[in-house]
Amino acid sequence: MTTDAFPPVIAAQINYLLSHSPLSIKIDQMWAGCKYSGLLDRFSLLIPFCLDFIKWDVIYNAQCPLAAPDVIFGPEDENFHPFCVTGDEGDFKLSKNSLSDWNSKDPSGLLTLIHELRDLYLSYQKKRIGEVDDDRLKFEISTIVSREGIEMYMSSGVEKPEEVKFSVPLLDMDINKMVFGCNWRHQQKIYLQVIFPVGRKYVSAPSAPRLKLVSSPELKVLFPIEDVKLPPWLDGMCMAEYLPNLEETLERQILDAVSLIDVRRHFIEALAPVFGRPLEADPVFCRKVTFLAASGVFTCLVHFFLPTQFPKQQPVLMLQSSQHFNSQGAPIKSHLLTEYPWSPRWESSQMAERILEFLVDECLNFKKFCNEAQL
How would DSSP label each residue in 250-314?
Answer: HHHHHHHHHHHHHHHHHHHHHHHHHH-S-SEE-TTT--EEEEEEEETTEEEEEEEE--TTTTTSP
So what's the pLDDT on residue 342? Answer: 95
Chain mean pLDDT for the chain = 89
Residues 227 and 200 in one domain: yes
Integer Cα distance of 194 and 289 in angstroms = 39
Residue 47 has pLDDT above 60, yes or no: yes
Rounded to a whole number, what is the distance in angstroms from the first to the last CA of the chain? 43
DSSP state of 201: S
Q: How high is the pLDDT of residue 328?
A: 85
Tell me whether the omega of the peptide bond preceding residue 311 falls within 30 degrees of 0, making it cis: yes
Q: Are residues 305 and 344 in the same domain?
A: yes
Each residue's pLDDT tens digit, 140-163: 999 888 888 999 999 876 667 789
Instruction: Report, as an integer, the average pLDDT of 49-58.
Output: 95
Which of the residue ranges 14-28, 73-87, 135-149 would you say has the lowest mean pLDDT?
73-87
Indicate whether 103 and 178 sit together in one domain: no
Under 8 Å between Cβ of 65 and 7? yes
Domain count, the chain: 3
Query: Which domain-ending residue is among 247, 267, 287?
Result: 267
Encoded amino acid at 65, one letter: P
Cα-Cα-Cα-Cα torsion 288, 289, 295, 296, nearest 10 degrees, comes to: 140
Whether residues 151 and 228 share a domain: the answer is yes
Domain identity same for 73 and 171: no
User: Which backbone phi and psi does 2 adopt, to 5 degrees?
Assistant: -85, 150
Q: Report CA-CA distances (Å) from 305 to 193, 297, 311, 333.
A: 31, 26, 12, 14
Q: Kindly report, residue by residue over 256-297, the tens digit of the pLDDT.
A: 999 999 999 999 999 999 999 999 999 999 999 999 988 888
Report the SS3 class of residue 51.
coil
For residues 197 and 132, is the Cβ–Cβ distance under 8 A?
A: no
pLDDT of the residue at 28: 92
d(CA 55, CA 43) in angstroms, rounded, equals 10
Q: Which of 84, 114, 131 is the last residue of a domain?
A: 131
- Whether 216 and 189 have beta carbons less than 8 Å apart is answered as yes
pLDDT confidence of residue 348:
95
- pLDDT tens sequence across 201-214: 555 567 789 999 99
Contact in structure between 168 and 191 (CB atoms under 8 Å)? yes
Q: Residue 132 in contact with residue 38, Cβ under 8 Å?
A: no
Question: Residue 19 — pLDDT band, cuts 50, 70, 90?
Answer: very high
Q: Return the number of other C-beta atoms located less than 10 Å from residue 118's C-beta.
A: 19
Average of per-residue pLDDT across 314-332: 91
**pLDDT value for 91:** 53
pLDDT in the model for residue 114 = 96
Q: What is the pLDDT of residue 156?
A: 74
| pLDDT on residue 165 | 94
Domain boundary among 131, 166, 188: 131
pLDDT (tens digit per residue) in 54-68:
999 999 999 899 999
Q: How many CA atoms lie within 13 A of 101 on its CB side?
A: 9
pLDDT of residue 85: 64
Residue 205: what pLDDT? 61
Q: What percent of the chain has pLDDT over 90?
A: 64
Q: Which residues pair with 211 in a beta bridge?
A: 194
2 pLDDT tier (thresholds 50, 70, 90): confident
Instruction: Supply the pLDDT for residue 272.
Output: 94
In a shared domain, residues 64 and 188 = no
Is residue 325 scored above 90 in pLDDT?
A: no
Beta strands in the chain (DSSP E): 26-31, 42-49, 52-59, 70-72, 84-86, 92-94, 151-155, 163-170, 190-197, 210-215, 280-281, 288-295, 298-305, 316-325, 331-333
Domain region containing 227: 132-267
User: DSSP class of residue 25?
Assistant: -
**b/e for 215-250, b at 16 or more Cβ within 10 A?**
bbeebebbbebeebeeeebeeeebbeebbeebbeeb
Same domain, 140 and 122: no
Are 113 and 136 contained in the same domain?
no
What is the pLDDT averaged over residues 64-82? 91
Residues 362, 309 share a domain: yes
Give yes or no: residues 82 and 116 share one domain.
yes
Q: How confident is the model at residue 99 (pLDDT cuts 50, 70, 90)?
A: confident
The whole-number pLDDT of residue 88 equals: 52
From CA 64, how far away is CA 16, in angstroms rounded? 20
- Same-domain pairing of 305 and 245: no
Residue 113 has pLDDT above 90, yes or no: yes
In this predicted structure, what is the pLDDT of residue 79? 87
pLDDT at 46 over 70: yes
d(CA 161, CA 173): 36
Q: Which CATH number covers residue 368?
A: 3.10.110
Give yes or no: residues 336 and 367 share one domain: yes
Measured CA to CA, the distance from residue 349 to residue 271 in angstroms comes to: 7
- For position 222, what pLDDT does the model report? 93
CA 151 – CA 93 distance, rounded (Å): 27
β-bridge partners, 302: 291, 319
Rounded CA-CA distance 46/28 in Å is: 6
